[in-house]
Structure 1
Amino acid sequence: MTDAFTVLVTGATGNQGGATARALLARGRTVRALVRDPDKPAALALRKWGAELVRGDLNDAGSLRAAMAGVDGVFSVQPLAYEPETLATEVRQGKAVADAARETGVAHLVYSSVGGAERRTGIGHFETKAEIERHILALGLPATILRPVFFMDNLLHYADAQGERVLELPVRPERPMQMIASEDVARFVDAAFTDPDRYLGRQLEIAGDELTFTEVAQVYERVTGTPTRLAPLPIEERMFAWFAEEGYRADIPSLRALRPDMLTFEEFLRARLAPARD
């Protein structure tokens, strides 16, 4: 890929899209960020970083085709969904991005799915991504499907604890959880566009670390100095039952051979909390 390679980033004001836009811009790539409102603070931050803002909507096929005109690559990620209506919207939007990529002749689509999507998990927001994956493959698009595991970013929910930090989660204390930082998803997106011969046609589950939540508590305490413990809750929801029974299966040693700069959870936490501790 040349430096002139232009990428349309969807979800650019979210964690994955924002991290991807920053990673591509840092390498001197041309980034076109799809935003609904270019005047919102998150969109203005993208412009400040150097992204070109293009007004569009994942529900508007015409705006997607217009946004893709002249681009070489597309990063596709949809908002997280849980309820039946939003799950249906996610599928519709993910398929619309793929359709627009085919119609405009995009050379490389990178789709962010979820680890385990291909394994019929029975988890609503995993099954939606599996359906979008199948659509991309059925279209025969030049594509890379990345399947991130549990996001380290989710655990920042506990960052501001005072006195004692208690991780109340419906998990088995002894069961490891694979996890990844949004920055590392962005690194794989960049790698896919940079080295298409290696990544085109692949479906790759990606993770940067694997810890039990007891170990997560220990890392939090070590990094922040705040006493931290895990308080396991009953496992009732299907997603947490799947985490306990099967879970993610990324080959972390092989992934680290591809991307040795991937963050461990401790590295991620120290980097994210450093400004607040200065």
Structure 2
Amino acid sequence: MLRSPGSKPSRGSLVCEANSGTPVPKNSILVVGGTGTLGRQIVRKALDEGYDVRCIVRPRQNPADFLRDWGATTVQADLTDLTSLPATLVGVSAIIDCATARPEESTQKVDWEGKVALIQCAQAMGIQRYVFFSIFNCDKHPEVPLMNIKACTEDFLASSGLNYTTLRLCGFMQAVIGNYAVPILEDRPVWGTNDETRTAYLDTQDVARMTMAALRSEECSGRTLTLAGPRAYTTKEVIELCEDMSDSKAQINTVPTWLLKGTRNVLKGAQWAKDAADRLAFAEVLANNETWDAPMDQTYELLGIEAESVNTLEDYLKEYFNKIMKRLKEVGASTDRTNFYV
């Protein structure tokens, strides 16, 4: 049974009024988390398909100018400021919610309280479709705060009466670049665990394509779908791929799973380190010899996507390293490699 991540905001705490009068165009969508790794790909894909895209952005030192340059509209709001949310939904037909708390932020405030408030606003404003991104097998790990919050949010969304689709993700190929490819190129250590966990990574561009297909499909309404890549890999296999394609040898530092658990037990006793302890709980699951994968044949058919069109990790890494090596050759092998990431 899922444990409630905390009390949710009351409806009285939000000023949400149902949309009335002028019909809302069906191609008008709000992307929450549009500056993130996945969100920016969804914004690009939606714009390419002719959607009128609005993005929530927070006041920040580095403004999200690139979203406006692409043709999206931006509106300042924050999931931790519940009163800022209602106005962002005026004139919107659908919400694509791919936001999550950053490492320095509270998952309770962003991923639970903020999302509950957003769903309540969507109910009041008569939003026609809500696409929510969750985590693979989140309902099986209530001991992990972020996964428990995702599972509780799934339940809250399903009971809201909204026309929703939940997409559970296994892992992004883009994370492989920062975690393994870049450190190997820089001759820095890569970190791994002594486990056989397998992850079926997906390219975020493919996730964006599947997301827009799900948004268009009435058959996806009221359903929870797991999106997985063509094949699942262990950390060791990913590192070996990066070594082969970069013609380099990785310096591997192995972190025993018992150390992750021990560190988490120490940190969770201190209030100031609670968020760090919660994230270590997620790391424990990722190092628990599970397989983060799911059959995709029925999902491909449902979304109208050919399996052969989905990018493989080998092809993704090959393209990345080919670009890097080409740039290195252009400037000379002695040049600092850190200038040439794509």
Give 2:294's aligned residue. 250
Residue from 184, 187, 192 that aligns with 2:206:
184
Is 2:129 aligned against 1:114?
no
Q: In the alignment, is residue 102 of structure 1 matched against residue 142 of structure 2?
A: no
Kept in 1, the 8 Å contact 2:192–2:254? The answer is yes
Q: What is the TM-score of this pair, normalised by structure 2?
A: 0.71
Conservation of the 8 A alpha-carbon contact between 1:38 and 1:44: no
Amino acid at match of 1:183: Q
Q: CA deviation at 1:73?
A: 0.8
Structure 2: which 5+ runs fail to align?
1-24, 262-280, 327-342
Pairs within 5 Å for 1:189-228: 189-195=211-217, 197-208=218-229, 209-228=231-250
* 2:39 alignment partner, SS class: helix
Deviation of the 1:206 alpha carbon: 1.0
1:167-178 counterparts in 2 under 5 A? 167-172=190-195, 174-178=196-200
Are the counterparts in 2 of residues 59 and 93 from structure 1 also a CA contact under 8 Å? yes
Deviation at 1:123, TM superposition (A): 1.4
2:108 aligned to which of 84, 88, 94: 88
The answer to whether the 8 A contact 2:190-2:250 is kept is yes
Q: Which has the larger radius of gyration?
A: 2
Q: What is the SS of the residue equivalent to 2:38? A: helix
- Asked whether the equivalents of residues 218 and 229 of structure 1 are also in contact (C-alpha less than 8 Å), the reply is no
- The Cα shift of 1:247 comes to 4.0
In the alignment, residue 169 of structure 1 is paired with which amino acid? G
Query: Which residue, 46, 50, 55 being the options, matches 1:33?
Result: 55
Structure 1 residues 67-111: Cα deviation after superposition (integer angstroms, max 9, x where no partner): 11111110113323568x712112111111111111111100000
TM-score between both structures, scaled by the size of structure 1: 0.86
Contact kept in structure 1, 2:199 and 2:293, CA below 8 Å = no
Evaluate the alpha carbon distance shift between residue 229 and residue 177 of structure 1 in structure 2; reply closer, same or farther with a 3 A threshold: farther
The whole-number CA distance in structure 2 between the counterparts of 1:54 and 1:38 is: 13
CA distance in 1, matches of 2:51, 2:135: 26
CA distance in 2, matches of 1:146, 1:18: 17
* AA at the equivalent of 2:106: T
Judge conservation of contact 1:171–1:240 (CA < 8 Å) in 2.
no
Gaps of 5+ in 1: none
CA separation of 1:219 and 1:200: change in aligned 2, threshold 3 A: same
Please give the secondary structure, in 1, of the residue aligned with 2:166: strand
Residue 153 of structure 1 aligns to a residue in which SS? helix
| Residue number in structure 2 paired with 1:65 | 86
Distance 1:230 1:39, change over 3 A: closer
Query: Is structure 2 residue 151 aligned with structure 1 residue 130?
Result: yes
Residues 91-140 of structure 1: CA deviation (Å, up to 9, x unaligned): 11111111111111110000011111122342121111112111111212
Q: Determine the C-alpha separation between the residues in 2 that align with 1:101 and 1:277.
A: 47
The number of residues matched between the two structures is: 272
Question: Identical aligned pairs, as a percentage?
Answer: 26
Tell me the distance in 2 between the aligned counterparts of 1:39 and 1:272. 29
Residue deviations 1:233-260 (CA, integer Å, cap 9, x gap): 2013443443324342422444455432
Bigger mean CA deviation after superposition, 222-231 or 152-161: 222-231
Q: After TM superposition, give the deviation of residue 179 of structure 1 in Å.
A: 2.1
Name the CA distance, whole Å, in 2 between partners of 1:82 and 1:180.
22
**1:11 is aligned to 2:54:** no
Q: Which of 180-189 and 241-250 deviates more? A: 241-250
AA aligned to 1:35 is: V
Q: Counterpart of 1:69 in structure 2: which amino acid?
A: V
- Who is 2:16 aligned against? none
How far apart in 1 are the matches of 2:295 and 2:161? Answer: 26
Q: 1:32 to 1:274 in 2, by over 3 A?
A: farther
2:317 corresponds to 1:269: yes
